[in-house]
Amino acid sequence: MFTGIIEEIGSIEQIQKGVQSAVLSIQCKKVLEGTKIGDSIAVNGVCLTVTSMHVNGYTADVMAETLERSSLAGLKKGSRVNLERAMLAGGRFGGHMVSGHIDGTGRIVEIWKDDNAVWYTVQTSSRLLRYIVEKGSIAIDGISLTVAKVSHTDFTVSLIPHTGEETTLLKHRSGEIVNLET
């Protein structure tokens, strides 16, 4: 389980693509603290298992099912990713309960600034929208956010400056695909 509070922004060091799978090498520092092979780290909200570790990063296998259901297939060398270690039972619990099992993807259709908030409207399938409720929680690329509005085609969230600075969401542009966990 995760909280949706991003600990670090890492970067894709290398991608080894198989026929229907991939191995990601992720450069990072903070999430390596106390991590061992077999632990779970959410990458843009997708729970992946650490398969090897090196001084400045780790690797994780990605199976075909995960590539099909998430935005991970679109990552490239140098892509920046949100990282969060699995929640400790005795730790603080901010954000909301996030499983790291992506329900699907959405497309950012509008971004606008309102004083100190940045608003995002994300279009997704009706299959996912039925689980998204106004004032409920949603994880976008692993980031715990509160839903401000829901329509029959999309939903809207906003970011405070701190969340924008500590995650990759402000780097996204209209038209880009994001991972969603309802």
| Mean pLDDT of the 162-180 span | 96
| Residue 94 binned pLDDT confidence (cut-offs 50, 70, 90) | confident
Judged on CB neighbours under 10 Å (0-12, 13-18, 19+), 159 is buried
Euclidean distance between CA atoms 93 and 87, whole angstroms: 8
What token pair was written down for 4?
A: 């949706």
Residue-level pLDDT at 170: 94
Q: What's the pTM value of the predicted model, to 2 decimals?
A: 0.92
Residue 95 vs residues 1, 67, 99, 106, 113: alpha-carbon distances, Å: 12, 26, 12, 20, 23
- Whole-number Å distance between alpha carbons of 130 and 165: 30
Q: What is the rounded CA–CA span in Å between residue 131 and residue 137?
A: 10
